[in-house]
Amino acid sequence: MDIKLTLCSEFSVREEHMENIIKLIDDGNTIPFIARYRKEMTGSCDDQKLREIADRLQYLRNLEKKKEDYSNSITEQGKMTDELQEAINKAETLAELEDLYRPYKQKRRTRATVAKEKGLEPLALILLEQSLTEGSSEELAKEYIDSEKGVESAEDALQGANDIIAEIMSDSADVRRDLKELITKKGIIRSTAKTEEDSVYSMYYDYSEAVSKIPSHRILAINRGEKENILSVGIEIEDFAAMSIFYKHFVKPGSISTQFVKEAALDSYSRLVFPSVEREIRNDLTDKADEQAIKMFGQNLKPLLMQPPIKGKTVLAVDPAYRTGCKIAVVDENGKVLDTGVIYPTPPQNKVEEAAAKVKMLIKKFGVNCISIGNGTASKEAEIFVADTIKEFGGKVTYMVVNEAGASVYSASKLGAQEFPEFDVSLRSAVSIARRLQDPLAELVKIDPKSIGVGQYQHDLPAARLEESLSGVVEDCVNSVGVDLNTASPSLLKYVAGITSATAKNIVLFREENGAFTSRAQLKKVKGLGPKAFEQCAGFLRIPGGKEILDNTGVHPESYAAAKKLMKLFDINEKKLTETTDIEKLTQSYGIAKAADECETGIPTLEDIVAELKKPGRDIRDALPQPMLRSDVLSMEDLKEGMVLKGTVRNVIDFGVFVDIGVHQDGLVHISRITSRYIKHPGDVLKVGDIVKVEVIGVDVKKKRISLSMKDVPQND
Closest to 170 (Cα-Cα) out of 254, 88, 264: 264
Looking at the DSSP bridge assignments, the partners of residue 210 are 188
pLDDT-derived band of residue 308, with 50, 70 and 90 as boundaries?
A: confident
Looking at the DSSP bridge assignments, the partners of residue 343 are 326
Distance CA 644, CA 712 (A): 11
Angle at 317 between CA 315 and CA 323, to 5 degrees: 160
Torsion sign across C-alpha atoms 690, 691, 695, 696 = positive
With a CB cutoff of 8 Å and minimum separation 6, the contacts of 70 are 88, 97, 100, 101, 104
Q: 172 vs 258, 265, 278, 479, 650, CA distance in Å?
A: 19, 12, 16, 50, 50
Residue ranges, comma separated, of all CATH 1.10.150.310 domains in the chain are 509-623
Q: Which class does domain 315-454 fall in? A: alpha beta
Closest to 328 (Cα-Cα) out of 409, 406, 418, 432: 432
Mean pLDDT of 513-523: 95
pLDDT-derived band of residue 581, with 50, 70 and 90 as boundaries?
A: low
Tell me the CATH number of domain 3-104, given options 3.30.420.10, 1.10.10.650, 3.40.1190.20, 3.30.56.10: 1.10.10.650
pLDDT-derived band of residue 406, with 50, 70 and 90 as boundaries?
A: confident
pLDDT tens-digit readout, 156-171 = 999 999 999 999 999 9
Average pLDDT over all residues of the chain? 91
pLDDT (0 to 100) of residue 444: 86
> In b/e form, how buried is each residue of 388-402, taking b as 16+ CB within 10 angstroms?
ebbeeeeeebbbbbb
Longest dimension (CA), the chain: 106
Q: How many CB atoms lie within 10 A of CB 54?
A: 17
pLDDT (0 to 100) of residue 547: 87
Q: Which is higher by pLDDT, 337 or 451?
A: 337
Sheet holding 231-236, edge to edge: 206-210, 188-193, 231-236
What CATH number belongs to 509-623?
1.10.150.310
Distance CA 664, CA 376 (A): 9
Distance CA 307, CA 650 (A): 12
Distance CA 635, CA 295 (A): 34
**Distance in Å from the first CA to the final CA of the chain:** 55
Tell me, letter by letter, the H, E, C secondary structure of 259-308. Answer: HHHHHHHHHHHHHHHHHHHHHHHHHHHHHHHHHHHHHHHHHHHHHHHCCC
What SS3 state is found at 392?
helix
Asked if the model's pLDDT at residue 627 lies above 80, the reply is no
Closest to 260 (Cα-Cα) out of 172, 167, 128, 169: 128
With a CB cutoff of 8 Å and minimum separation 6, the contacts of 474 are 301, 305, 445, 449, 495
Looking at the DSSP bridge assignments, the partners of residue 370 are 315, 398
Q: Which is higher by pLDDT, 33 or 646?
A: 33
pLDDT-derived band of residue 633, with 50, 70 and 90 as boundaries?
A: low
pLDDT (0 to 100) of residue 654: 86
Distance CA 55, CA 48 (A): 11
With a CB cutoff of 8 Å and minimum separation 6, the contacts of 111 are 163, 167
CA 611 to chain centroid, in Å, comes to: 30
Asked if the model's pLDDT at residue 631 lies above 70, the reply is no
Q: How many CB atoms lie within 10 A of CB 111?
A: 16
Using a cut of 0.75, tell me whether the model's pTM lies above it.
yes
Residue ranges, comma separated, of all CATH 3.30.420.140 domains in the chain are 315-454
Question: How many residues are there in the chain?
Answer: 717
Q: 206 vs 199, 212, 214, CA distance in Å?
A: 13, 19, 15
Residue ranges, comma separated, of all CATH 1.10.10.650 domains in the chain are 3-104
Closest to 263 (Cα-Cα) out of 274, 275, 254, 250: 250
Closest to 484 (Cα-Cα) out of 476, 492, 473, 475: 492
Looking at the DSSP bridge assignments, the partners of residue 235 are 189
Distance CA 126, CA 338 (A): 89
Closest to 379 (Cα-Cα) out of 426, 329, 320: 320
Q: How many CB atoms lie within 10 A of CB 245?
A: 21
Asked if the model's pLDDT at residue 652 lies above 60, the reply is yes
pLDDT-derived band of residue 449, with 50, 70 and 90 as boundaries?
A: confident
pLDDT-derived band of residue 462, with 50, 70 and 90 as boundaries?
A: confident
* φ/ψ (deg, to 5) at 606: -65, -40
- Fill in the amino acid letter for 670: H
Tell me the CATH number of domain 636-709, given options 2.40.50.140, 2.30.31.20, 3.40.50.11810, 1.20.140.10: 2.40.50.140
With a CB cutoff of 8 Å and minimum separation 6, the contacts of 571 are none
What SS3 state is found at 109?
coil
Tell me, letter by letter, the H, E, C secondary structure of 61-86. Answer: HHHHHHHHHHHHHHHHCCCCCHHHHH
pLDDT (0 to 100) of residue 624: 67
* φ/ψ (deg, to 5) at 285: -60, -40
| Element holding 647 (H helix, E strand) | strand 644-653
pLDDT (0 to 100) of residue 625: 67
DSSP 342: E
5-19, 337-351, 557-571, 633-647: the lowest-pLDDT one: 633-647
Distance CA 17, CA 46 (A): 13
> In b/e form, how buried is each residue of 318-354, taking b as 16+ CB within 10 angstroms?
bbbbeeebbbbbbbbeebebeebbbbbbbeeeeebee
For the chain, the 3-state helix, strand and coil shares in percent, each to the nearest 5, are 55, 10, 35
Closest to 105 (Cα-Cα) out of 321, 250, 276, 326: 276
Cα atoms in the Cβ-side hemisphere of radius 13 Å centred on 534: 15
Asked if the model's pLDDT at residue 64 lies above 90, the reply is yes
What SS3 state is found at 209?
strand
Asked if the model's pLDDT at residue 232 lies above 70, the reply is yes
Asked if the model's pLDDT at residue 305 lies above 80, the reply is yes
pLDDT-derived band of residue 252, with 50, 70 and 90 as boundaries?
A: very high
